[in-house]
Structure 1
């Protein structure tokens, strides 16, 4: 399927499958624009994805909320001794720094983990993008630790880092949507590893979901 079809799908509040590359995680993520997320989206991500359901945020938005990468938060913490700080992951095995920040729940959730609770947290995080008082609204509306991890896209997006975090936010921007996405890795319950590209493409075809290869997206971004 083409990039245009992927953009159309995102605009309709539907999924796109996004493959990063064999040189990175070698994983396919389910991606949906956070502004459209419903409990049904979360249910489908759980059942057909099975990985971690996260919120990816554009860098400028993350900065307005004073969000930091978790590895920096831990490194600067006085509650961790120097020995414990050796645990902090600076670089993942595939060469990139992790994009994890804090994890959150919306304050109107109960446990925070149900499909309804996570959908509320994700959608309200997207709604926050248009707030005139984003930082104060963030503090008053959300609590941490919670059940939805925040991922911070690198400044410059694909120029800087070519992960699902950056690619999904870039796709949302191409679709002229709020640059906040919900993403979830696709797992394979038969092999107990990440779902292969072949199986993901078969799933995409059977369910009429656009499949985007990160390599193509990267080439597109260089041209445009």
Structure 2
């Protein structure tokens, strides 16, 4: 875990493969405070999936960050009810939350804009707030171009997706704030990048490659 902590603090990536029994996908992960426009460009080009920000439950509770499915459930709109995600093939529940842009961005989609939004999200959770919800709204607008992921409170006890694996890893390595940007790795043909290819990318970068089982064992063993 020291190697992982060192890499993340230096603004270097860590690669997380969930498991063959789940998505069978690898995510490229950066610690949010260190994210630059170059990192966002690398996520687009090297990873290629959806760029999202994992916000640890400790921070998510502070701003009352909802699961998007809960927002849909409360919404009085027939289309939202009709598209209820009750048939996800790899899991029973989704961790998607709202999308945001920082209010200092323009369109919000450029590498510069997304990097700013990611860094400002991390920065927000380093400060004390009298009214976290109001203050979050003063800094961010929704909808936006950065997808927020809200891990389940019990982390790996409740769900073992990349969202919980990433949040648990940040907890294990003791980084604050516990906020990270993640993106699925895709192959040129459009499918998920095979594990062995993702491992090759990690080796070429000299970056840590972890499986969900690695993180689960460290979490159960209290490793730091």
Superimposed CA distance per residue, residues 102-127 of structure 1 (whole angstroms, 9 cap, x where no aligned partner): 10000000000000000000010011
Partner SS for 1:162: coil
Partner SS for 1:187: coil
Partner of 2:186: 187
CA contact (8 A) 2:165 2:212 kept: yes
Partner of 2:24: 26
**What RMSD in Å do the two structures reach over aligned CA positions?**
1.3
CA contact (8 A) 1:48 1:186 kept: yes
Runs of 4+ displaced beyond 4 Å:
none
CA contact (8 A) 2:172 2:219 kept: no
CA contact (8 A) 1:101 1:150 kept: yes
Partner of 1:95: 91
1:149–1:86: structure 2 CA closer, same or farther, 3 Å change rule?
same
Partner of 2:118: 122
In the alignment, which of 79, 103, 108 is matched to residue 104 of structure 2?
108
Question: Aligned partners of 1:91 and 1:141: how far apart in 2?
Answer: 35
- TM norm structure 2: 0.93
- TM norm structure 1: 0.93
CA contact (8 A) 1:128 1:137 kept: no
1:145–1:212: structure 2 CA closer, same or farther, 3 Å change rule?
same
Number of matched residues? 219
Gaps of 5+ in 2: none
Partner of 1:50: 48
Gaps of 5+ in 1: none
